Amino acid sequence: MELKGIYVPLVTPFAEDGSVALDALEKLAGSVLDDGAAGLVALGTTGEPATLSAEERRAVVEVCAAVCAGRGGRLLVGAGGPDTRAAAEELAGLRARVPEAAAALVTPPSFVRPGEAGTVAYFRALAEASSVPLVVYHIPYRTGQQLSAAALLELAAVPGVVGVKYATGGLDEAAVELLAGRPEGFAVLSGEDAFLPALLALGGAGGILASAHLATARFVELAAAWEDGDVPRARALGHRLTALAAAAFAAPNPAVVKGVLHAQGRIPTPDVRLPLLPAGPVEVARALELATGLDH
């Protein structure tokens, strides 16, 4: 299995009464796939899964799975947790619950900080138990666990681990070493929207990007430009998309993205659930302006 291209970690739209707006989610999922996204992520950070009930999480995954099945997109499902036994059990049954799942997106265990050796052992245990391939979600400013290039390359060699969403706040030496030494078929995907152009230039396979909600076709175009070797087009478009990405993260994710999607009439409210707060009008207006400007 080779992961490649732009994946959109879908927001969870909320209706006026606070319930999950599943109809809006279905339309949003279809629109980003129609615009060229390689696939969707259900229950990624952008989807606010920690604030969803178990029933709501199941419904979100079902909608995303149906849309991917109908349009040929790949579905990644957020899974895992600090309890290794519970995470392994969840992953063992994922294929049966969600036959459309192409892979699971799994963070190192948050708060525990097991060290690099413990993190690698954790993923070995999960990969052995899992019914689907795993993508490591390396985001140390959320998990508290940093990983060196050596640890990442060790993870890349684990059977059943097929990629990493690299979200360390930028591009560092570890990312460069990982890209240079990764085994064939192991995908390095940007999890930092503003650094997608740089990661693609270094040989990255694509990205899992919240801001791609707002300009899916343009992000797909950027990835294609790098693959085609069209450096002038890739650089020019990359600068514009980096500005959009920065604006989309001017407030805690996914508040700005939801504000823009609501302003565009694509979701019924801009609401997020506490402890998140909605983005302010200035942040939303700036991101909307940049997204609209990409069409001109």
Phi/psi at 162 (nearest 5 deg)? Answer: -110, -5
Portion of the chain with pLDDT greater than 70, in percent: 100
Is pTM beyond 0.85? Reply is yes
Residues paired with residue 104 on neighbouring β-strands, in sequence order: 77, 134
Helix 149-156 and helix 173-181: axis angle, to 10°?
Answer: 30
Q: 246-288, pLDDT tens digit by residue?
A: 999 999 999 999 999 999 999 999 999 999 999 999 999 999 9
User: Mind giving me the DSSP string for 137-157?
Assistant: EE-HHHHS----HHHHHHHHT
Q: Please, what are the domains in the chain? A: 5-238 (3.20.20.70)
Catalytic choice (4, 27, 122, 137) = 137
Per run of 10 residues, the mean pLDDT along the chain (length 296 residues) is 93 98 98 98 97 98 98 97 97 98 97 96 98 98 95 98 96 94 96 97 97 98 96 96 98 98 98 98 98 87
| Alpha-carbon dihedral 233, 223, 171, 279, rounded to 10 degrees | 100
137 part of the active site: yes
Q: 142-186, pLDDT tens digit by residue?
A: 999 999 999 999 999 999 999 999 999 999 999 999 999 999 999
Catalytic choice (7, 122, 165, 258) = 165
18-23 LR contacts (CB < 8 Å, sep 24+): 18/271, 20/52, 20/56, 20/59, 20/60, 21/267, 21/268, 21/269, 22/59, 22/60, 22/63
